[in-house]
């Protein structure tokens, strides 16, 4: 048996014994776990989830079969029989597990099972009727996240009580003498401590993308900043409306938390952007018309193309500064600099380092885009998550979606992306090529802000609103 197959077997044998400590020892310190109920757990949160299930699973029975593994990946089929505590109903769940290994431990664990099948057993009639719907899935996920937070809080409190009793009895354990740890990349918990918040604090940057894309995008974003409906926004340099933004800023109302929304792609066939750098210096980034394409530069990305990307985004920062904006951060239009490969991301890192500005580095994306974590070596602050509503959410469910976002928000700093605007005749013309993120879409986002919905949700779920300026003050991107 391969050692990693033995590791999987040991994990499930410990689960059958409800031995959470042994299960946790099978996990890498940076493990990431996900399934249909807990969609994203990292590190200690994943270990806490298994400890909670072990504690509550009084009649739990586990079997594990079809274990296979090599040096990097593994899989297994496991079955669980138990009583669902929420309803007292018996459940038999069949789960297909997939693993990734690092340093002889499980660094990624994905469990897959039929949510509708599970919900029919666990929830009864409600599961039969609604188990197929996103609505019920989100409700179950929110409840599970809340239960895990409550359980973890009680467990920490109990540990502190035990230590206090030992101290009073004169037998408190002495900490072992250990050498100072080597320097490590900042984590979400480290960022919270630098911000003076507890490890359990949940912070959010409510951010408006696409300022200066259209007149309404500028107007709606500035109004939201003035009313504190959003805490941050970012500006596109390559549009004909940048000058009007500068005029608005000079008219007063700031200073606002504004970054640069760096673009390597045009928004649509009717909204094409030209580079800020001289065209001859960025030939690989434009099409025959001299404008950015609709999609990011494709592979292979050579060293010469990477240098051109760096030249262009540095020129965009300079252009936005010239309009009177003092940038607080850098981010990426359509994610082109973040999710198109390490080459484009390296160019962004170098410019951010020179400008001493933070960029979005969400820990929740490290598994899919592992090169993002390399920015932590530059002193960049890690975000816990980056969230934006997608085209699969019907307009009638937007408030419910954002309620779910705030309720299930993990500890750390989450970046919540919005796209503000107005649904007017002029804006509909500008966005005529858009199926999503069009004028109506942007007006709905703006309505969420102007009605105070997001502020209410933040207060309801104990989430604190912050901005990029506060994050930048505690970074070590540049010596101070």
Q: Which two tokens stand for residue 471?
A: 């994050």
**Residues in Cβ contact with 217 at an 8 Å cutoff, skipping those fewer than 6 apart:** 210, 211, 241, 419, 420, 421, 442
Average pLDDT over residues 67-95: 86
Closest-CA residue to 324 (of 207, 241, 242): 242
> CA neighbours within 13 Å on the CB side: how many for 234?
32
% of the chain exceeding 90 in pLDDT: 54
Q: What is the pLDDT, as a whole number, of residue 220?
A: 95
Where in the chain do CATH 3.20.20.370 domains reside?
A: 188-473
CA distance 351 to 345: 10
- pLDDT tens by residue, 344-359: 999 999 999 999 999 9
Mean residue pLDDT across the chain: 87
Where in the chain do CATH 3.10.450.50 domains reside?
A: 3-150
Does the structure show a pLDDT above 70 at 479? no
Q: What is the pLDDT, as a whole number, of residue 54?
A: 86
Q: Average the pLDDT over each of 107-121, 230-244, 317-331, 416-430 and give the range with the smallest value.
A: 107-121
CA distance 129 to 239: 49
CA distance 52 to 151: 7
Higher pLDDT, 123 or 302: 302
CA distance 315 to 212: 17
The class (CATH top level) of 188-473 is: alpha beta
Closest-CA residue to 204 (of 394, 472, 464, 452): 464
- At 65, is the pLDDT very low, low, confident or very high (cuts 50, 70, 90)? confident
- At 176, is the pLDDT very low, low, confident or very high (cuts 50, 70, 90)? very low
Average pLDDT over residues 163-188: 51
Average pLDDT over residues 295-300: 75
CATH architecture of the region 3-150: Roll (3.10)
């Amino acid at each position: 048996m391969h050692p990693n197959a033995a590791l999987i077997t040991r994990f499930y044998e410990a689960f059958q014994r409800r031995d959470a400590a042994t299960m946790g020892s099978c996990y890498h310190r940076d493990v990431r776990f996900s399934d249909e109920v807990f969609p994203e757990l990292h590190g200690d949160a994943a270990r806490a989830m298994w400890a909670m299930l072990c504690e509550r699973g009084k009649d739990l029975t586990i079997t594990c079969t079809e274990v296979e593994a090599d040096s990097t990946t593994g899989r297994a089929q496991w079955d669980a029989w138990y009583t669902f505590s929420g309803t007292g109903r018996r459940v038999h769940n069949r789960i297909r597990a997939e693993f990734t290994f690092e340093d002889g431990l499980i660094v990624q664990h994905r469990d897959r099972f039929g949510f509708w099948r599970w919900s029919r057993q666990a929830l009864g009639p409600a599961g039969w009727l609604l188990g197929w719907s996103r609505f019920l899935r989100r409700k179950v996920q929110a409840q599970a996240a809340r239960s895990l937070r409550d359980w973890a809080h009680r467990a920490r409190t109990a540990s502190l009580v035990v230590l206090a009793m030992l101290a009073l009895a004169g037998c408190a354990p002495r900490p072992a003498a250990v050498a100072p740890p080597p320097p490590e990349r900042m984590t979400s918990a480290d960022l919270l401590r630098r911000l003076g918040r507890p490890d359990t604090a949940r912070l959010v940057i409510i951010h408006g993308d696409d300022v200066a894309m259209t007149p309404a995008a500028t107007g709606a974003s500035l109004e939201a900043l003035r009313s504190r409906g959003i805490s941050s926004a970012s500006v596109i340099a390559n549009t004909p409306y940048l000058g009007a933004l500068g005029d608005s800023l000079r008219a007063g109302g700031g200073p606002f938390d504004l970054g640069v929304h760096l673009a390597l792609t045009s928004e649509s066939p009717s909204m094409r952007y030209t580079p800020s750098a001289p065209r001859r210096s960025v030939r690989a980034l434009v099409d025959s018309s001299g404008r950015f394409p609709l999609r990011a530069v494709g592979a292979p990305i050579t060293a010469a193309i990477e240098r051109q990307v760096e030249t262009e985004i540095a020129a965009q920062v300079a252009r936005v500064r010239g309009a009177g904006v003092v940038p607080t951060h850098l981010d990426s239009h359509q994610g082109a600099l973040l999710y198109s490969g390490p080459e484009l991301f390296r160019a962004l890192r170098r410019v951010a380092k020179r400008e001493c500005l933070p960029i979005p580095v969400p820990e929740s994306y490290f598994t899919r885009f592992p090169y993002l974590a390399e920015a932590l070596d530059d002193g960049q602050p890690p975000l816990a998550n980056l969230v934006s509503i997608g085209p699969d959410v019907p307009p009638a469910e937007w408030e419910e979606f954002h309620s779910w976002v705030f309720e299930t928000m993990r500890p750390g700093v989450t970046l919540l992306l919005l796209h503000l605007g107005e649904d007017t005749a002029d804006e509909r013309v500008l966005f005529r090529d858009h199926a999503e993120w069009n004028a109506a879409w942007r007006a709905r986002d703006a309505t969420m802000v102007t009605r105070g919905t997001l502020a209410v949700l933040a207060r309801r779920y104990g989430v604190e609103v912050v901005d990029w300026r506060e994050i930048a003050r505690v970074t070590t991107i540049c010596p101070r």
